[in-house]
Structure 1
């Protein structure tokens, strides 16, 4: 396994945990059964408030005193006590984490619209830059992103599918692409094989752990 993915866990959907350089970050933490590994987050990034991405119980499960929560500005009603609310293009420099908020939406479908103001994030921990795209289609703005690892949705119904995800991985210059939002009737493990034919980097399919 690429050492860029050391201590990276995909739970399901868009829920990811990364531990690197003494920092633990959770993106879209969910209410999951106890696993015996109940460490807490230094940072929580939230992409949008859909039920399969946003869980108050999931946040509570990984939150500790001092956890920094970052969310879209349009989520203030759902999460008034977040530490930072961001809009596409906003940047934060925090102790242990640099974050850029980027757009995440559908181009034609109405599941995630530009007006919703929902987000993906480009963030750097130590020397590694990650891009978590949130729930989105391929967007031209992805050509302006540079990252080492890209977590890209492959659902193909609510978000882009595998072929678009391969294009997105190439656009953002990722060395490693990790598919997320797959494993249901819209995108199977076999569907992910298409990505490697279109993307010259490493495709790392993580096993769902929840």
Structure 2
């Protein structure tokens, strides 16, 4: 990871990301990071995008959570996760000590997997002077034009979410300096490489941990 903006970032699989920066640890959709290094301290913040099995793992949440951990989830997940600290809707802003967060919409435009009416989320947040955009499971949507970020985590599986070309357009819309493709695997690696080849900005194809 040559780019300094990628310092402290680990991708586990799917959309599961951990960021450690300035003594703060944030997990988005923790899932499958079962190596010892991934759980050597509790999370400060856990952000959940939606309740699909590979995004919402109660086992991983319990493993990472302490009495001080702040859990943030879509308002539509109140039945699945009654004890979250904050339930948000698209457009909500949350201001906490050392952590500001904007809840972004995340949905499919022409697919049925992630309906807009579900109110599922992506997130824009800042740690240590770096602004991150985790898009969640989404297609290319107009709301991305309102995002300004340094690092964008964009899904590129091409079936349930955007493909590589659409993710390249999303990266341009949100003004990212560095893009980290997520939600890709060996079978969809072509989409991740298509994204990398479409952009003049840095694209980091991270190796999965755990």
Q: Shorter-normalised TM-score: what interval?
A: over 0.9
When the two chains are superposed, the root-mean-square deviation of aligned CA atoms in Å is 1.1
Deviation, 1:201, is: 1.1
What's the secondary structure of 1:124's corresponding residue? strand
After superposing the two structures, state which structure 1 stretch, 30-39 or 198-207, moved more: 30-39
Q: Could you tell me the TM-score, scaled by structure 2's length?
A: 0.96
d(CA) in 2 for partners of 1:28, 1:37: 13
d(CA) in 1 for partners of 2:38, 2:32: 14
What's the secondary structure of 2:175's corresponding residue? coil
Match of 1:104 among 97, 106, 115: 106
CA contact 1:166–1:199 (8 Å) conserved in 2:
yes
Structure 1: 5+ residue stretches without partners: none
Aligned length: 208
Residue pairs, 1:1-210, within 5 angstroms:
1-38=2-39, 39-185=41-187, 187-188=188-189, 190-210=190-210
Specify which structure has the higher proportion of helix.
2
Q: Could you tell me the TM-score, scaled by structure 1's length?
A: 0.96
Deviation, 1:123, is: 0.4
d(CA) in 2 for partners of 1:37, 1:47: 20
